[in-house]
Structure 1
Amino acid sequence: MPVAVCSLKWELAVPGTGQQRISYDSDGYHLVRFPYDRSGESTDPWRMHDPGRGGEGASAFPDPRSGLIWPSHNGWGVLSAMVIWEADTRPTEYRARFVRDPLGQATGYDSTGTTDSARTGGRQFRTYTWQFFVKKGTPVGLKVTARGTGDQRLAVPITLAEFKLAIHTDVLLP
């Protein structure tokens, strides 16, 4: 079965990337951004993370469009992510969700695969997986939030994030 893939990585430790400023959208989540550099672990042979997509001019990391993967094909999408948060005692909960069209540029915001977990000691290490049909022309994104008591959104820095999409392009139909 043919598979088209896009694998993105952002890491604070990489010189020149800077800290990813956590800012919450109207839905209370932060769209995680990724550099357009395809070196290191990031790979994008189908150019699904293209700075020219989704706007009139070129996007530049860390603007919101740098958080989008534009599926190259219609098919069954397997999304996976990893996020490492700095140690912080204020959050009581960490959440993540995968979103179709997180910036409302194509078919409209559609979140799915939301998960939450309680804080553990030290840094927070989280992995996520979700599957759904993806469509060429409708971007997908990874959104996260750290919440304290009373649903308070906290700007806890992340130190590493990965976001991957594998599209199974040969889905059998009855």
Structure 2
Amino acid sequence: MLDEILAKIQRRSQISRLKKHPHVSFKGIKLGISNHFVLHENLKKVTIGSSVSFRNYVHILVEKNATLEIGNNFFMNNFCSINCLDSISIGDNTLFGENVKLYDHNHAYQSQPEFKLFSSEFTTAPIKIGSNCWLASNVTVLKGVTIGDNCIIGAGCTIHKDIPSNTTVINRQDLIFKDH
């Protein structure tokens, strides 16, 4: 009983956070438990369409000057995250399996004269996911990727290049590579 009351309070808190932000608009949203929206006060825009559902333990980060656009009839399953430092758009009638991750950025680094990684500097490029797409469990989409309409991205795939519309992508576990 107490868990249900706390979950209800947490959902109301997250909806209130969305409503109060001057650059956030949404039409209809359903939240599960323990969802977390981190919204920079100076983000550019967040739009969430109608009939959008976020299951449980979803994490969405939208940083300064970033844009997140989610279409109508979108479903995001448990443990998914969106990390938006630039721009991410997701079309209508798209669904994410569990643990899908979107990253529109990488840590900046230099390789010459010696390798150096910058923990708080990033390179960014937009992510665009079309309408009528299914990203199955444990899919990761990296910066600069466009996934066309009507695509299926199979479980466990890491997407680092554009995927044309009407494409199915799968991991091929049956391939064996040998050194020659």
> Would you say same fold, with TM above 0.5?
no
Whose Rg is larger?
2
Sort the TM-score into its range (normalised by shorter chain). Answer: under 0.3
Which one scores higher on RCO, CA 8 angstroms, separation ≥ 6? 1
Give the TM-score normalised by the residue count of structure 1: 0.27
